[in-house]
């Protein structure tokens, strides 16, 4: 049985195929094993290189054998590098496939849940329900509007009649004001002076005469005060 047969089990028709998680785990184990093999080969290559250098001048045959072994180890190391690249690619592809499988599984689960949720729903019933909701909302709005309107508690007045009455009252008030204004036309005006008004020159002369008489009267008062003081001093 091959190495891969040992790792992944029998590949016969009757064998059960491993699930993605098991296959991914097996690939990771294989990667770890090959990386350990890489480390071992790299150490062997270093050792053979040291032997070849040591025997290069003393024992040419031993040096050549060491170089041959180094070449075999390098070839194996190159093969392992390629195998690791292949296994890594396969593992990543399997991980992506596993992720896609889980995503599809969950999407299918969600689709079944949605189908189950809509199982008892009928689009016609939904439309009828939405129509009923709309009608009830309109009815509630009409009721709110009716409640918010002010009521007169039995007193019903015609608004047009009230406006007509208000216009009549305003017209009566306007007519009354006009009559009062018209009655003031018979009030007698003050009489106009018969004598002509003095000119500007006459007014100036009148003002000068007034100032002169005021000065004279002030001087007379001062003279009288002086005479009284003189009389008092003489006594």
Contact 100, 85 (CB under 8 A): no
Structural domain contains residue 199: no
Structural domain contains residue 214: no
Each of the 235 residues of the chain gets a pLDDT tens digit; together they read 444 454 445 444 556 777 888 888 999 999 999 999 999 999 999 999 998 888 887 888 888 998 999 999 999 999 999 999 999 999 999 889 888 888 888 998 888 888 888 787 778 887 888 888 998 898 898 888 888 776 655 556 677 887 888 888 888 888 888 887 766 555 555 565 555 555 555 556 655 665 566 555 666 666 666 666 655 655 5
Contact 48, 65 (CB under 8 A): no
Question: According to the model, what pLDDT value does residue 145 have?
Answer: 82
Question: According to the model, what pLDDT value does residue 191 have?
Answer: 61
Tally the domains of the chain: 1
Structural domain contains residue 53: yes
Structural domain contains residue 144: no
Structural domain contains residue 42: yes
What gap in Å lies between CA 64 and CA 132, rounded to an integer? 98
What gap in Å lies between CA 8 and CA 30, rounded to an integer? 10
CATH code of the domain covering residue 34: 1.10.287.1060
Question: According to the model, what pLDDT value does residue 71 have?
Answer: 93
Question: According to the model, what pLDDT value does residue 174 have?
Answer: 85
Structural domain contains residue 10: no
Question: According to the model, what pLDDT value does residue 29 have?
Answer: 93
Question: According to the model, what pLDDT value does residue 34 have?
Answer: 94
List of residues 6+ apart from 101 with CB closer than 8 A? 20
φ, ψ for residue 226 (rounded to 5)? -65, -40
Structural domain contains residue 43: yes
- Cα distances (angstroms) measured from residue 212 to each of 200, 215, 219, 226: 19, 5, 11, 21
Question: According to the model, what pLDDT value does residue 230 have?
Answer: 55
- Structural domain range at position 84: 22-113
Question: According to the model, what pLDDT value does residue 56 have?
Answer: 80
Structural domain contains residue 210: no
């Amino acid at each position: 049985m091959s190495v891969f047969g040992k790792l992944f089990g029998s590949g016969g028709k009757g064998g059960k195929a491993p699930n993605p998680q098991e296959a991914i785990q097996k690939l990771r184990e294989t990667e770890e094993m090959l990386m350990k093999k890489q480390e071992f080969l790299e150490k062997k290559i270093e050792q053979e290189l040291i032997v070849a250098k040591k025997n290069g001048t003393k024992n040419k045959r031993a040096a050549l054998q060491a170089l041959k072994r180094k070449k075999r180890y390098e070839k194996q190391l190159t093969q392992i590098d390629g195998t690791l690249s292949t296994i890594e690619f396969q593992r990543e592809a399997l991980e992506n496939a596993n992720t896609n499988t889980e995503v599809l599984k969950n999407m299918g689960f969600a689709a079944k849940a949605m189908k189950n949720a809509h199982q008892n729903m009928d689009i016609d019933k939904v439309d009828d329900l939405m129509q009923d909701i709309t009608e009830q909302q309109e009815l509630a709005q009409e009721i709110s509007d009716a409640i918010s309107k002010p009521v007169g508690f039995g007193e019903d007045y015609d608004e047009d009649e009230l406006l007509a009455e208000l216009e009549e009252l305003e017209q009566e008030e306007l007519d009354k004001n006009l009559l009062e204004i018209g009655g003031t036309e018979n009030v007698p005006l003050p009489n106009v002076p018969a004598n002509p008004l003095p000119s500007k020159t006459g007014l100036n002369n009148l003002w000068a005469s007034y100032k002169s008489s005021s000065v004279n009267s002030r001087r007379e008062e001062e003279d009288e005060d002086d005479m009284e003081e003189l009389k008092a001093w003489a006594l």
